[in-house]
Structure 1
Amino acid sequence: MSAGPSHLVLLLGAGGISPDAALAAAGAVTTEVSVVWYQGGTPAATVERVREHWKRTFDGAWLTTDDHHRIPDLLADLHRRRPVHGVATFGEPLIVAQAEAQQRLGLPGNPPETVRTAQSKLAQRRRLREAGVERIRFREIRGEADIPAAATEVGFPAVLKPVHGAASFLVTKVADEAELRRRLREALAAYRESPLFDPEPLFVLEQLLVGDAWYEEPGFGDYVSVESLVEDGRITHVAITDKLPLDGFVETGDVMPTSLPEARRRQVLDHAGRIIEAMGIRWGATHLELKLTPDGPACIELNARLGGPIGHLLRAAGGSDIEADIMRLALGRPAEGRYPSVRYALYRSVPPPNEAVTLVRQTSREELLAAFPQLVFCKTRFAPGAELHPDRPYNILTFLVTGEDVRTSLDAAERVVDSYRAEFAPLAADGRQPSPAPTS
């Protein structure tokens, strides 16, 4: 490595934590930071503001591309001019490009095929079955011709989900073969129209995982996530995140530290370690969701990256900066965080309606922040007049509260949700606003 500051490249512009948060975390690790900005629809004014922030703070290069396949070539060219010591990203669309660049430049990272496996719900199931870690029944579905074999192998009730998906979109429970056929037709139509997916539809039918009551107090869902850091194959579990009950298959909230009894925590962490090892993750962060079943924890899915609100939760609960540790791991350095939990932190989200609507009016974030001092942050994603579509399932409100105990945090979050008001008007099939009065 260079005797001077390590040269870190950030891949930004495709989701994950905010660019400002990524730059702040990088600044805790090095002063030499280059950026590859993926031009995926971020407003030009926002990009320019981020670039000015970067320019004032770091020494490095600013590169742009609208083709993520070009990123390894861009970094190889940059490396010849200015040796690169690490590559980091937080956006799911760019983690394969990150792995390809790391492999090409001989930098710490996961093999690209490992990352592709982590992105595929079907490949994950195959890997865990081959490794003998889990025996969940599943079957690939490309079209209606695959339904009879899938129904025979998996049985009912079952869950149909896209192999590559986001935000639980098109994940649905099916009770029998007739419902499976109907849901698959609907999903195929929605899949081809949604900007969240690759053009080629591919689904997996999975055995329905049935949760059990693992908690000694009410208010929690029947699944958790495990947040871990991996340094050259050595796994450090940072936290278990409790979940609020699902809305269908849509997540509504996260809480840390966990309220699971100690014996249950050990079960969860032991199984998480086996899954991460079987998946072949060698470097970086993982976000693993586990169903809490009568037979023990079972994998829902693993992400080879930091989970959405996890950085916020860890900072609010104990002041730790996991994003900076991810930067350190990208540079081949050990993580430095200790991850204590000195208070409870709860992240809550409010999903949009299930039909196409226009947001007419809503309680502003300023009103909510003024009314609730427990709020660490609060974000309303859409302004009045915005059209909301079910094929773009972004939450209309997200916020984080803290408390000295879990019950105080749960109660505070419910009061915030109860105080938030949003009114919607349905959109006609042609997208025009109809005349009926808005509905709440």
Structure 2
Amino acid sequence: MSKKVLILLEGTRGNGLPYAQAAQRLGLHPITLSANPAQYDYLAAEGIEAIRVDTENLDSLIRECSQLRATYDIAGITSALESVYATAGKLARCFDLPGPNPTSIARCCDKFVQRQLLAEAGIPIPAYRLAANATEVEGAAAEIGLPVILKPVVGSSSSGVRLCHNVDELVEHTTYLLSRKHIWPSSPKHTWRASPRILVEEFADGPHYIAEIMGNEVIGITAADFDCLPHFVFRGLTFPAPLTDDEHKRIADVSLGCLRALGLGWGPTCIEFRWTKRGPVVIEVNPRLAGTDPQLVQLAYGVDLITEHIKLVIGGEWSFHRRRSHTAAARLIIPDRDGTLDWIDGDTRAAAVSGVAEVKLYVEPKAPIVRKGDDRDYLASVIAASPSRNQTATILQHAVDLISWSITPFPPLGELEKSSAP
């Protein structure tokens, strides 16, 4: 009998390994197809099979999977990476396998098209405009009113997203995006369109929430907070969020409206909200699981969303059976300066704290620290869980306080030039 295989297109730093491990627990052999497998450290470290292939070329992927099917039984095809998820859906259809509607995924991943569809459906969203050059950006900001958020139309992980309070900041970030210095961290290879597209968006201020959805069911809602503006880098996550029944229902109702408007409802979705004076306002709909949130859901409710997603991918049925009602929380540690990381320690002591589920260090000593304003900035993360929200918060803070580090700032440019002079 042929070995059953789960094809994973690309990977991610957060959920790539958990997807492969969940596949193995289900008796599947995971194979990652990637344009650059070396970028995922966990593949070699865990001995996970990987094949180099152009994951932006559907024909190349079809040929590779056809060759694999001569040896294996391909049980399913999916991805944890948003930028290739529509391609995964197309590839699954080519082999008559379950998957999301690739057209719906592609429309959702284009933030401008997503806004248009949500607005047409009457979903509450921030005011927005599309811009392709500096003049259009300035005009859009004037119409909406400062402050505004500038973000690439395509991308994830808050890469290239910035709050601009005044004209100087607007010009600075517009120049950065239009100069094409912006790097798309979630895509293995990105080809610029003929004209880069920027979304200019009203700043909807208020508490931030994330609806965790599988199929057409809202599993729960995560509360999130950010590090210092003007960038939007998550600092803390708590699941479930401390909401009233009415607040939870309002977010859940708007979430289901988003699914209908965008043609989603198969597999995972996470929807980000701000609770404003208008109530819940949709910031972004993401047709995937969020990075850390699946682990929080599993710790709090005993539901493994990644495993349940894979069950759908291989033609099974997912089940949501809450096994407990705990509170889980994550703290993401972010540096306060650029420079060279001299040392970081305390992770072993933090991991030994009762109630701590995981401690991760993302950076090695002597590595250069250059903050980018997105999720590549993290030094470390700590996750904890307990039967109560207050207890979890206490455990988490105690563990975080045990982690320490030192960063030596880079020398000023002038001094650096002097030191390198002959």
- TM-score normalized by the length of structure 1: 0.83
3-state SS, counterpart of residue 378 of structure 1 = strand
Equivalent position of 1:227 in the other structure: 212
Q: 1:431 to 1:258 in 2, by over 3 A?
A: farther
CA 1:64 to 1:422, structure 2 compared with 1: closer, same or farther past 3 Å? same
Asked if residue 292 in structure 1 is aligned to residue 281 in structure 2, the reply is no
- Quick one: which amino acid aligns to residue 199 of structure 2? V
1:37 and 2:33 equivalent? yes
Give the superposition deviation at 1:45.
7.8
Q: Corresponding residue for 1:352?
A: 335
Supply the distance in 2 between the matched residues of 1:430 and 1:76 (Cα, whole angstroms).
54
- Name 1:333's counterpart in structure 2: 316
Alpha-carbon distance between aligned partners in 2 of 1:282 and 1:72, rounded to the nearest angstrom: 26
User: Who is 1:366 aligned against?
Assistant: 348
Give matches, 1:246-395, under 5 Å: 246-248=227-229, 249-353=232-336, 355=338, 357-370=339-352, 372-391=353-372, 393-395=376-378
In the superposition, relative to structure 1, how do residues 314 and 6 fare at CA in structure 2: closer, same or farther (>3 Å)? farther
- Aligned mates of 1:179, 1:354 — CA distance in 2: 20
CA distance in 1, matches of 2:324, 2:143: 44
Structure 1 residues 431 and 40: alpha-carbon distance in aligned structure 2, compared to 1, 3 A threshold:
farther
The CA deviation at 1:204 is 0.6
Q: Is the 8 A contact 1:283 1:330 kept in 2?
A: no
Shift of 1:38: 1.3
- How many residues matched? 407
C-alpha separation between the residues in 1 aligned to 2:250 and 2:414?
50
Aligned to 1:210: 205
Q: Aligned with 1:407: secondary structure?
A: helix
Q: Of 134, 137, 145, which residue of structure 1 is paired with 2:135?
A: 145
Matched, 1:410 2:359: no
Matched, 1:120 2:110: yes
TM-superposed CA distance for 1:284, in Å, is: 1.0
Q: Give the 3 Å change call, closer, same or farther, for CA 105–179 of structure 1 in structure 2.
A: same
Give the counterpart of 2:154 among 151, 164, 172: 164
Q: Work out whether residues 15 and 90 of structure 1, in 8 Å CA contact, stay in contact via their aligned partners in 2.
A: yes
Superposed counterparts of 1:20-59, under 5 Å: 20-29=17-26, 31-40=27-36, 42=38, 46-51=42-47
Q: Look up the equivalent residue of 1:225 and give its one-letter code.
A: I
% identical aligned pairs: 20
TM score, norm. by length of structure 2: 0.86
SS at match of 2:234: coil
1:65 aligns to 2:53 (yes or no):
yes
> What secondary structure sits across from 2:21 in the alignment?
helix
What is residue 121 of structure 2 aligned with on the other side?
Answer: 131
CA pair 26-291 structure 1, distance change in 2 beyond 3 A: same
Q: C-alpha distance in 2, partners of 1:381/1:91?
A: 19
Q: Using a 3 Å threshold, how does the CA distance of structure 1 residues 176 and 111 change in structure 2: closer, same or farther?
A: same
Which one is further off, 73-82 or 101-110? 73-82
1:243 aligned to which of 221, 224, 238: 224
* 2:84 matched residue in structure 1: 94
Contact 1:228 1:237 in 2 (8 A): yes
For residues 306-336 of structure 1, the C-alpha deviation after alignment (integer angstroms, 9 at most, x for no partner) is 1111221122113221111101111232112
Letter in 1 for 2:209: V
In structure 2, the residue corresponding to 1:244 is in which secondary structure?
Answer: strand
Partner of 2:170: 180
Deviation at 1:34, TM superposition (A): 4.7
Between the aligned partners of 1:342 and 1:432, the Cα distance in structure 2 is 56
Amino acid at match of 1:133: I
Seen in structure 2, the aligned counterparts of structure 1 residues 274 and 204 have a Cα distance that, compared at 3 Å, is same
CA contact (8 A) 1:361 1:422 kept: yes
2:393 and 2:140 map into 1 onto residues whose CA distance is 40
> In the superposition, relative to structure 1, how do residues 206 and 280 fare at CA in structure 2: closer, same or farther (>3 Å)?
same
Q: RMSD over aligned Cα, in angstroms?
A: 3.0
Where does the alignment leave 5 or more consecutive residues of structure 1 unmatched? 55-61, 212-221
CA shift in 2, pair 1:433/1:165, >3 Å: farther
CA deviation after TM superposition for structure 1 residue 39, in Å: 4.6
Report the CA distance shift for 1:195/1:243 in structure 2 as closer, same or farther (over 3 A): closer
Paired residue secondary structure (1:136): coil
In 1, Cα distance between equivalents of 2:41 and 2:169? 47
Distance change in 2, residues 1:167/1:431 (3 Å): farther
Distance change >3 Å, CA 426–CA 41, structure 1 → 2: farther
Q: Distance in 2 between matches of 1:119 and 1:335?
A: 24
Give 1:366's aligned amino acid: T
